[in-house]
Amino acid sequence: MSDNEKAYPTVSLLINGEWRAAAGGETLPVINPATGEVIGEHAHARQADLDAALEAADAGFKHWRTVPAVKRAAILNKAANLLRERADDIARLMTIEQGKPLGEARGETLGAAGTLDWFAEEAKRIYGRVIPARADNVQQIAAKHPVGPVAAFTPWNFPLNQAVRKVSIALAAGCSIILKGPEDTPASVAELLRCYVDAGVPAGVVNLVYGVPSEISEYLIPHPVIRKISFTGSTAVGKQLAALAGAHMKRNTMELGGHAPTLVFDDADMKTAVKMSSIGKFMNAGQVCISPTRFLVQEGAYEQFVEQFVAAAKAIKIGNGLEEDTRMGPLVHDRRPTAVGDMIDDAKQRGAEVHLGGKTADRPGYFFEPTVLSGLTHDMKIMNEEPFGPVAVINTFKDTDEAIAEANRLPYGLAAYAFTSSMKTAHRIGQEIEAGMISINHLGLALPETPFGGVKDSGYGSEGGSEAIESYLETRFVTTAAI
């Protein structure tokens, strides 16, 4: 273990402004996926800790909702500046616990600061409206109020990016929050929350817990203090949590899985298509909900695309994310290589051709080789379920109708990509593909100022753009007659 890895902290819970151990003293280990070694531990919350967090979030909300928007914004801007100052240390922690290359971790941390700044400004743009009344002496106002304490659940693939959206939007809106962070990558998220606390967010307004995910969600979602749920993760878990939220009449936002179709037309700029597709596919070892996954290449461009894409994938150096020349790190935990490997074996047995990779890398840790498959059929698991790993599946199509039909075949509808030089084709893609986010001729998704969310089984609600704050607000209508 290097000195860098030895410096991993013991991660505490954050409850009512205090960093503390779990009431029962329990902890869970944290593993470096690049080595498979235990590098530290995090506190493991049980019911007593959750009760304390609920009490804190309740009191925190009652105060925070009264803090003027400009002041909330100033605190969030300060948190963003702290995050920028601490970016190098936080990125290092993220790489050690999550595996991604240091450059990606640093980019994510700085991006999180940008998200904080953007939602700080949104706090000042929470407008109601005055509705023309039917009588002279009546004033009708629709006012926006924060919905209340939020329970949020974020995953390990983008530890900061996922958490910063939920926490910043909640705080901008005037809500308090209990975040159940990702147990696999707890330290970087704790350091993010430290920025909010150090910037002056009052005690109880942000709280952080870790533990058994189902135990925490099943306790927090029905609890009367909690008024809003936000979850990012798999469609299967999202459906369970949305059902629980529905049973208790709680507002919720669901950012779930995808299986992004990526359409490459004969008239595409091939250099751009290959470059963008390979960067998008292998970023974060493919553990990205908007990762380009089902490549559909028009017949005339197919051979050229496969040849160039395989060459780009072959050039990717895998390794420990702390090493400077690493372009792709390991998968996050020991379950991922098994899950990805099973999908590839199933595809191979059913006749898929392997152009590259297809197996775990021969080294310690949870590495999987960049993989390219073709000749896929609809009965293969990988053509229907999210691989969530460094695997590209490439098939051909004849015409736009066929490509759009295949793109819309699955129940998912998160991201979609297309490469074409035809405005007419681009227009059809934008109109006809069933996805919450569509990016044509570049990788242009997931900016703080643009909507971020899915349709169909990929969930509902947005955690980007001006739509995002709406779901943390409720509308109250007040009509007053001056008599």
Cβ at position 45, least distance to ligand NAD in Å: 13
Residue 177's SS3 state is strand
- Which CB sits closer to ligand NAD, 217 or 400? 217
- Which CB sits closer to ligand NAD, 72 or 333? 333
Asked if 101 contacts 117 with a C-beta cutoff of 8 angstroms, the reply is no
- Which CB sits closer to ligand NAD, 119 or 388? 388
Strand-by-strand arrangement of the 437-440 sheet: 353-356, 371-374, 391-397, 292-298, 260-264, 415-419, 437-440
Q: Which helix (H) or strand (E) holds 409?
A: none
DSSP string, 250-310: -EEEEE----EEEEE-TTS-HHHHHHHHHHHHHGGGG--TT-EEEEEEEGGGHHHHHHHHH
Asked if 445 contacts 290 with a C-beta cutoff of 8 angstroms, the reply is yes
Tell which positions 374-393 bind ligand NAD, by CB under 6 A: 386, 388
Count Cβ neighbours within 10 Å for each residue of 63-85 and write b for 16 or more, e otherwise. Answer: ebbebebeebbebbbbbbebbbe
Residues forming a β-bridge with 152? 179, 230
Cβ at position 343, least distance to ligand NAD in Å: 10
Closest CA to 258 of 424, 97, 111, 439: 439
Residues forming a β-bridge with 433? none
Tell which positions 301-320 bind ligand NAD, by CB under 6 A: none
* Annotation marks residue 255 as catalytic: yes
* Annotation marks residue 289 as catalytic: yes
Cβ at position 469, least distance to ligand NAD in Å: 21
Cβ at position 227, least distance to ligand NAD in Å: 18
Q: Is 289 in the site for ligand NAD (CB under 6 A)?
A: yes
- Which CB sits closer to ligand NAD, 240 or 441? 240
Catalytic residue among 255, 369, 386, 463: 255
Catalytic residue among 97, 289, 434, 463: 289
Alpha helices in 299-433 (DSSP H): 302-314, 335-349, 400-407, 423-432
- Which CB sits closer to ligand NAD, 159 or 174? 159
Q: Is 153 in the site for ligand NAD (CB under 6 A)?
A: yes
Q: Is 98 in the site for ligand NAD (CB under 6 A)?
A: no
Q: Is 119 in the site for ligand NAD (CB under 6 A)?
A: no
Tell which positions 34-93 bind ligand NAD, by CB under 6 A: none
Q: Which helix (H) or strand (E) holds 413?
A: strand 412-413
Q: How many residues of this chain bind ligand NAD (CB under 6 A)?
A: 20
Cβ at position 408, least distance to ligand NAD in Å: 20
Return the residue matching tokens 């939220």: 245
Q: What are phi and psi of 129, to 5 degrees?
A: -150, 155
Q: Is 186 in the site for ligand NAD (CB under 6 A)?
A: no
- Which CB sits closer to ligand NAD, 86 or 259? 259
Task: Give the chain's count of helices (H) and strands (E).
Answer: 15, 22
What one-letter code names the amino acid at 349?
Q
Tell which positions 205-244 bind ligand NAD, by CB under 6 A: 213-214, 217, 232-234, 237, 241
Tell which positions 324-353 bind ligand NAD, by CB under 6 A: 335
Tell which positions 123-152 bind ligand NAD, by CB under 6 A: none
- Which CB sits closer to ligand NAD, 141 or 455? 455
Asked if 452 contacts 465 with a C-beta cutoff of 8 angstroms, the reply is yes
- Binder to ligand NAD among 99, 149, 159, 182 (CB under 6 A)? 182
Catalytic residues: 255, 289
- The residues binding ligand NAD (CB under 6 A) are 153, 155-157, 182, 213-214, 217, 232-234, 237, 241, 255-257, 289, 335, 386, 388
